[in-house]
Amino acid sequence: MATMLDPKTLRALSQEDALDLSLVIPIHNEYESIPKLLQVITKVMEPLNYSYEIICVDDGSIDGSTDLLRQLAAQDARLTALLLRRNYGQTAAMAAGFDYARGGVIITLDGDLQNDPADIPMLMGKLDEGYDLVSGWRKHRQDDQLTRLLPSKIANWIIGRVTGVSIHDYGCSLKAYRAELVRDMNLYGELHRFLPALAFIEGARITEVPVNHYARQFGTSKYGLGRTFRVVMDLLTVYFMKRFLTKPMYVFGLMGLLSIVAGVLLGGYLTFLKLAMGQSIGDRPLLILAIVLLLAGIQLLCFGLLAELLMRTYHESQNRPIYRVREILR
């Protein structure tokens, strides 16, 4: 049955039907993998004493995955298919899954069969030890050494250094979250890979466990070196959020004050040359530099004040989603 309830309304209506676990699976052109993945998940979950749902978020697939999910959702009461209007990207697909999940725990995994659903009980057991987020570590990763593994290791090291959250594998989609944790985080850009860092900002307790990883069986990878620029920009965003999310005036104000002080010192020096030494300063580059520094300092201070106001708006925002759901099939 197709419904068009917003996530908050849906969760409010589903309080009595709350589940232990929601599996969120972003899907983009994974027609061959979907049936086998759902079969493996069912086999793993049947012996476990958990009430659960599977949320497959179709992120604008064009290979028949959409129609397949329609059919499967009509046959399986545990399967929910979120069909996005177009391809928004993995971050938006995961955000949609988080918003519509009814489980007290949310586990994410890829739809390409490279993650192993058999690791789900281990992740749940680790959460029971008191953690808020358990991240998978593809210790024996089955990917190309040069194009995937080496860039990934470098990226994980840089991200760990910048964010202060040192885990081995930021890019592993197999993670377990307490639902209240992810619902407090707004995702955009490529921020899904920085979820441990964002959770750390929220005060989450984080750990990491080795998980299985398999080579891709069907289709082609959607990842490539072309995403590097977006990841770097989002890393800068995460760093700013970690250091200055609630105090942006500290960074803009400091730069503004330094610029103003430098401009005043240069202006004082030029004034001394003009009045005490009788020298001409109209054609000196230092005069232009002093003026630019003063104006830049004033602008940076104004930016800081505006950023402070925007942060207050951010914390009281209406949580407008970064995706649009065309149809929900339950």
CATH number at residue 142: 3.90.550.10
- Between β-strands 79-84 and 2-3, what pairing exists: parallel, antiparallel or unpaired? unpaired
pTM across the whole model:
0.74
Q: What share of the chain is helix, strand, coil (3-state, %, to 5)?
A: 50, 15, 35
* 124 and 38, same domain (yes or no): yes
Mean pLDDT calculated for residue range 141-153:
69
Mean pLDDT calculated for residue range 10-37:
82
Residue 213 has pLDDT above 70, yes or no: yes
Assess if residue 145 is contained within a domain: yes
Q: pLDDT confidence of 65, banded at 50, 70, 90?
A: very high
* 87 and 234, same domain (yes or no): yes
Model pLDDT, residue 14: 52
* 128 and 38, same domain (yes or no): yes
* 189 and 259, same domain (yes or no): no
Alpha carbons 71 and 97: distance in angstroms, whole number: 19
CA atoms within 13 A on the CB side of 264: 8
Taken in order 39, 99, 27, 119, is the CA torsion positive or negative?
Answer: negative
Q: pLDDT confidence of 8, banded at 50, 70, 90?
A: low
Alpha carbons 175 and 127: distance in angstroms, whole number: 11
Assess if residue 319 is contained within a domain: no
Task: Give the total number of structural domains in the chain.
Answer: 2
Mean pLDDT over each residue of the chain, to the nearest integer: 83
Of 245, 265, 294, the residue at which a domain comes to its end is: 245
- Between β-strands 175-178 and 133-137, what pairing exists: parallel, antiparallel or unpaired? antiparallel
* 295 and 230, same domain (yes or no): no
Taken in order 19, 23, 26, 28, is the CA torsion positive or negative?
Answer: negative
Assess if residue 328 is contained within a domain: no
* 32 and 105, same domain (yes or no): yes
Residue 200 has pLDDT above 70, yes or no: yes
* 200 and 112, same domain (yes or no): yes
Assess if residue 330 is contained within a domain: no
Alpha carbons 59 and 4: distance in angstroms, whole number: 17
* 46 and 145, same domain (yes or no): yes
* 281 and 139, same domain (yes or no): no
Q: What residues make up the domain containing 235?
A: 2-245
